[in-house]
Structure 1
Amino acid sequence: MSKTVLILGGSFAGLHVAHALLKKSIRDVKVILVSKSTHFYWNLASVRAIIPGQIEDDDIFKPLEDALARYPAESWELVIGSATHADFDSKTVDIAVGDGTARTISYDQLVLATGARTHPDAPWKATGSYEQALATLHATSAKVKDAQHIVVAGAGGTGIEVAGELGYEYGKTKEIVLLCAGDKLANGHGIAEAAANELRKLDVTIRYDARAAEVRPSGNGTGKTDVVLAGGETITTDLYLPTTGQVPNTEYIPARFLSTDQRSATVLVDEYLRVSGARDVWACGDVVSQPRAGFFITQKQAASVARNVEAALAGLKPTVAKGPPVDIFACAVGRGRGVGRVNNSIRMPSLVVWLAKGRNLGIPMLKGYIDGSVA
């Protein structure tokens, strides 16, 4: 009797798990991949893609169908849609299909890899269809081109990289302001001082202890935006780019399987990345965000989940999930420099960060998610 592995999410974690299982050619097992988008999005490069003329759409968007077509047709199915409700007791998931219909899919093993979202008007994550992601990216790029004053809100990794790209391209001709809610960038991580120094070299103005409390259209009819800071000051800008507020896509999951943080309800998992209290359900990537959200962490989690799903299908016990051997936090700062730390202690030379990340923001690695070599 055939078994079904249902994977929710067609991004870094979900597609990785799909490749890992399909490459095994496990007998009588079908992998169903559910994705809101028809395309895989290399969103790590979105910070540079907002600069007009830097990155082509085809360089960072690839059809999921191309990734799966290398496997026997009977072993997989791609469903374009999104999960609306998961019932872990009956082992079913309700799907809102992209064509407007609804479908309920039964599973033997379920993988939750639906990722996270950011501000709906920001291109840092794909929050909907391929067409929506393209439209958001193009609209942002057009606004960047026209703006003379740009405010980037949020001084985490994404905020630092966005400000760096803008400063590298426009630091001499446009005013770029980075808002940092605290007194150090990156929540005080070891890269904070080096990142601030690199941004200043690119003529980026950093405002510390500056949290955006309200954002509203300017009342003068010029199309500008008023950014009201928590202290009461108002900054009027041509373009406001928020990079804060990453929210896990977990609304379809019953509350008892989620953390109690109302702003960021992540999935609760055990040491095997098995959902706590659920049977035959696993989770990886940004829906877990443990120890934090990150590309290399997601890769390791996806590999662990794939191994444990394979073991479960064979009636074997799971193995403890392993993270990366070291914790690397690195940010490209424009197209020429970068900052990074290993285990928040060992400084990475700027040239090393540039070679590893800043030169192309990892775009050559996208190939592995299409040809399957990532798994």
Structure 2
Amino acid sequence: MAKTVVILGGAFAGLHVAHALLKKRDAGLKVILVSKNSHFYWNIASVRAIVPGIYKDEEIFKPISEALSRYPETSYELVVGTAEAADFEAKTVSVTTASSSEPRSISYDQLLLATGSRTAVTGVPWKAAGSYEEAVALLHATAEKAEAASHIVVAGAGSTGVEVAGELGFAWGKTKEIVLLCAEDKLLGGDIVSSAAANELKKLNVRVEYGTRVEDTKPSESDAKKTDITVSSTEAKTITTDLYLPTFGLVPNSEFIDAKYLEDGARKGLVAVDEFLRVKDTTNVWAAGDLVSNPRAGFMITQKQAAAVAKNIELALAGKPPLAAKGMPVDILAVSTGRSRGAGRMGSFRMPSFGVWLAKGRQLGLNMFPSYLDGSVA
């Protein structure tokens, strides 16, 4: 009997699982991949792509159709659209597409939730924003503003904030004023590599303001092209900048999921899963990536989760019990600081700056992009 697997989300987790299932060449299986964006966006490189001339669009955006074209047309369907509702009891999802005025109802035997997350503040390119055309336009606009600015404020000193500040400092640290606002007294949430990251940013002439939290932003009264940032530190003050780049906060794309399947409290909006990455209180719904964020959001963590979910969906289709998902053997944190250095660790072992550059900063993972196109990732 034919089986249908619906995958909601065409980024790192979703495409990985699609490849894993389609490579089995199971004649009785159809994979329906639903993605709001027609292109796969290698957003890991977005922190560097805001510097004009580093990447061409086609280096960081690839058509998802290209990745799936190696499989028989009868084995898959790519739906460019957005999930609006999911009925786990009826085993259906409702998807809106640009090509139809009416939502499309899609039935499934197994469902993967991999819709990821979005930035808490709109107007920045760290995540795919809307359609492919919208994502490209936002990236270009940000790069143009960065090139024209003489004063740039990056808010949020997690991995993305440190990497953005590092790229800006590497490109323009000697000619522009680059400021990184850190709400805490250390970068990266006080991780053991925080001091190493701070030293690297200092070399790039990035000024870090600790204990400084953004309270409000608005167009400057003196110049509408500038932004007034109200911050709280030892005392409230206003910073006027040419370009404001917030990097803090991720919001899970889970509005279409019934709240009873979601976490609450500090993990509000994330999908609640068991040790198999199966959505709690379901038998055939799975989740991976930023929508789970356990132990945290991260590329390598997502890869491990995608591999585990792909295997468990395969077992479920065969009527076999799932296997517990295994996490990373050691927690790794690697943060690039410009195009020549970085800061990172493997567990409690601190990595040398050159090692972080070699492993991540040199290419920001773009060397792995082809594996998502040819299927070798799975």
TM category (shorter chain) comes to over 0.9
Instruction: Provide the residue aligned with 1:237 in structure 2.
Output: 241
In the alignment, is the contact (CA less than 8 A) between 2:262 and 2:268 conserved in 1?
no
Write the letter of the residue equivalent to 1:198. Answer: E
Instruction: Provide the residue aligned with 2:117 in structure 1.
Output: 116
Unaligned runs of 5+ in 1: none
Moved beyond 6 Å, runs of 4+: none
Instruction: Provide the residue aligned with 2:135 in structure 1.
Output: 133
Instruction: Provide the residue aligned with 2:58 in structure 1.
Output: 58
Q: CA deviation at 1:264?
A: 4.1
User: Are 2:156 and 1:154 equivalent residues in the alignment?
Assistant: yes
Instruction: Provide the residue aligned with 1:283 in structure 2.
Output: 287
Instruction: Provide the residue aligned with 2:250 in structure 1.
Output: 246
- 213-222 or 364-373: bigger deviation: 213-222
1:1-375 equivalent positions in 2, closer than 5 A:
1-101=1-101, 102-118=103-119, 119-230=121-232, 231-261=235-265, 264-343=268-347, 345-375=348-378
Spell out, residue by residue over 1:56-112, the C-alpha distance to the aligned partner (whole angstroms, 9 max, x if none): 111110000000010011000000001001110101100011224310001000000
Q: Distance in 2 between matches of 1:191 and 1:86?
A: 41
Q: CA deviation at 1:279?
A: 2.3
Measured on the aligned residues, the alpha-carbon RMSD in Å equals 1.0
Q: CA deviation at 1:245?
A: 1.3
Question: For the structure 1 residues 336 and 23, does the alpha-carbon distance in structure 2 shift closer, same or farther, using more than 3 Å as the test?
Answer: same
Spell out, residue by residue over 1:179-224, the C-alpha distance to the aligned partner (whole angstroms, 9 max, x if none): 0000000000111000000000100000000010101100123411
Q: Percent identity?
A: 61
Q: Distance in 2 between matches of 1:252 and 1:229?
A: 34
In the alignment, is the contact (CA less than 8 A) between 1:36 and 1:98 conserved in 2?
no
In the alignment, is the contact (CA less than 8 A) between 2:125 and 2:139 conserved in 1?
yes
TM-score (normalizing by structure 2): 0.97
Spell out, residue by residue over 1:328-374, the C-alpha distance to the aligned partner (whole angstroms, 9 max, x if none): 1000000010000111x100011111111111111110000000000
- 330-339 or 225-234: bigger deviation: 225-234
TM-score (normalizing by structure 1): 0.98
3-state SS of 1:228 partner: strand
3-state SS of 2:265 partner: coil
Unaligned runs of 5+ in 2: none
